[in-house]
Amino acid sequence: MAESTDDRLRLLIERVERLEEEKKGISDDIRDVYAEAKAVGYDVKIMRQIVRLRKMKPDDRAEMEAILDTYKAALGLG
């Protein structure tokens, strides 16, 4: 019993390690895409914000934008 449990644990650990390597590779790829965008003149900071906004649900995005507009108006940025 203990041996099969040990094997299962080892396999799970190895899967996590492989996934961590894949995640690192994907992170490197994303960084390369942003570097390419910057090289051709795009504002990477704004691109990151757009990606973040596109991940949001439309209702959540609308709520965030409404609150942001309220705060900007309160601070005279508006």
Per-domain boundaries in the chain: 2-74
Nearest to 50 by CA among 66, 61, 35, 41: 61
Q: Each residue of 21-75: pLDDT tens digit?
A: 999 999 999 999 999 999 999 999 999 999 999 999 999 999 999 999 999 999 9
Residue 18: what pLDDT? 98
pLDDT band at 4 (very low <50, low <70, confident <90, very high): confident
Residue 1: what pLDDT? 67
Residues 72/78, Cβ–Cβ less than 8 Å: yes
Q: How far apart are CA 7 and CA 15, in angstroms?
A: 12
Residue 2: what pLDDT? 75
Q: How far apart are CA 71 and CA 6, in angstroms?
A: 55
